Structures are given as C-alpha cells and as structure tokens.
C-alpha cells in the first residue's frame, strides 16, 4: 500500500478511462502518491481486472461509466463523492478511435467519437466542478499530437483531440483561479502491456520506431502518468490553460518520404 502524509493523502482523484493503458498508469501513479482514486471506465471486464491489480497499490474505486452519458456520469460522481468525500483532481483520459474513409463514416460514428472524447470531458468537469472548486483542484485532459498532425481517415479523432486543447484553455479561464486546467498531448505511446488479459496484442516495436523520436524511444504510459501527477500538484500551481506536447520530440523532427 502507498504511504501516507504526502500532498495527496486523503484526496480523491477521478481518472476516466482509468482501467487500461495510459489511464491505468495514471491511476497507479496517484495511488502511489497516496490519493484515493476512482477509475471510471465503460469496460466492466477491464474494471474488474484493474481494480484487483491496483488494490494492492492504494485505495481504488472501480466505477462503470460511459462518459458520453450524463446519467452515468452523475451516478459515478455521486458514488465517488460518497466514498471519498472530496475530489481534488480529474484526469479526462477516456477516448476512442474511429478510422474509416469519410464517405464510409456515418454521423452516428462521428458523434460517438466526439461524444466520448470531447463532450465526455466537458460533462465530467461539469459534474465535478463544485468539489473541484472546494478543493482548489486541478483538471488534466488527455489530447494527442493528432490535434496538430493527422493520419488519413481519422477526422473524428483529430477533431475531438483538437477540441480538447481548446476546451482546456476555455475551462482554465472560466474556472480560475480556484481550478487549474491543463492538457497533455501524447505522441506515440505503447499502451499494449497495460490492459486486461486477452485484450490488446502487445506491440512489436522496431529499432526504427524508436529512432523516429529525438528522445530515442517510443513513449510509455508512465511518461504521461508522471506528467499528469505533476500538473495536478502544487508544483504546477502557476500553470493553467496550457497544452504540453509529450512525444519525445517526434513532432519537431522533419520527416521525408524516401
């Protein structure tokens, strides 16, 4: 179990999409820091797995929640506050990808991606804004470098992540000074090893995959988790409304087709 007496001791934290991948690493980091963490996730199998695995690290509360649903968010918020009594930080990590040519993408598919990735973050902040204010808390949204550069056939995903960066600075202005709001835009992160058994197939990374990054490697979920913990902490008390690109320098490197 995590120790007590630190900045996060006794404080409640919500991590959406907290059962797998980046969210799992964020949940673990806050648990290790002494926080009580509610992991909201729509995947019940992953929730059960993560809850059992992380319970040895700290106090966790797995909550089944589809963040595109106002009703489910309201229930999750009530359950979290009943359990912890406060929410001092919110990490909006839940996200889904839709990859299909524009002519083959339905409005339903478009709306689903925007609903989870962008509207879901706004709904979660709205549901928890009063406890966050009471705690002089912090929000971190998880966008992507796809907000600034794209792959073919990912319009809904790119639009949702670009929207998150704008939502972040808008919320920072609206909710400050009581609540700080910042965004992390990760690049390539290998999340395949942090998931429920039988879930993602482990990614096979080549030397050239790492070499594309000036930092010399592909990102790890723990990279994002450590930054999220910092941005929510008092050490980042003068930082709000910002988007931090965390990609090992990949978007700063000129790439040419050969």
Q: Assess contact for 87 and 14: CB atoms under 8 A.
A: yes
Which residues, in sequence order, are CB contacts of 146 under 8 Å at separation 6+? 154, 157, 158, 161, 162
Task: Report the alpha-carbon distance of residue 58 to residue 54 in Å, rounded.
Answer: 7
Q: Which of 146, 157, 167, 212 is catalytic?
A: 157
Known active-site residue 256: no
> Residue 22 corresponds to which tokens in the numbers above?
């980046």
Sign of the torsion angle spanned by Cα atoms 204, 157, 251, 90: negative
Identify the burial level of 26 via C-beta atoms within 10 angstroms of its C-beta, where 0-12 means exposed, 13-18 middle and 19 or more buried.
buried
Q: Assess contact for 175 and 133: CB atoms under 8 A.
A: yes
Active site residue ranges: 157
């Amino acid at each position: 179990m995590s120790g007590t007496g630190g900045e996060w001791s006794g404080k409640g934290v919500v991590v959406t999409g907290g059962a797998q991948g980046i969210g799992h690493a964020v949940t673990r980091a806050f648990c290790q820091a002494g926080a009580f963490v509610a992991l909201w996730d729509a995947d019940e199998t992953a929730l059960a797995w993560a809850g059992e695995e992380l319970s040895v690290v700290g106090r966790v509360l797995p909550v089944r929640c589809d963040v595109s649903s106002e009703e489910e968010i309201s229930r999750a918020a009530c359950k979290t506050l009943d359990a912890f009594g406060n929410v001092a930080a919110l990490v909006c990590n839940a996200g889904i990808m839709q990859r299909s040519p524009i002519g083959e993408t339905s409005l339903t598919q478009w709306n689903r991606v925007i609903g989870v990735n962008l509207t879901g973050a706004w709904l979660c902040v709205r549901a928890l804004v009063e406890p966050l204010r009471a705690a002089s808390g912090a929000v971190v949204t998880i966008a992507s470098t796809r907000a600034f550069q794209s792959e073919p056939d990912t319009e809904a995903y790119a639009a949702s992540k670009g929207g998150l960066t704008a939502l972040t600075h808008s919320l920072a202005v609206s909710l400050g000074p009581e609540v700080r709001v910042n965004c992390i835009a990760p690049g390539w992160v290998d999340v395949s090893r942090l998931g429920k058994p039988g879930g993602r197939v482990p990614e096979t990374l080549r030397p050239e995959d790492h070499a594309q990054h000036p930092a010399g490697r592909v990102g790890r979920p723990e990279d994002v988790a450590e930054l999220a913990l910092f941005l929510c902490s008092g050490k980042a008390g003068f930082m709000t409304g910002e988007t931090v690109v965390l990609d090992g320098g990949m978007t700063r490197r000129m790439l040419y087709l050969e």
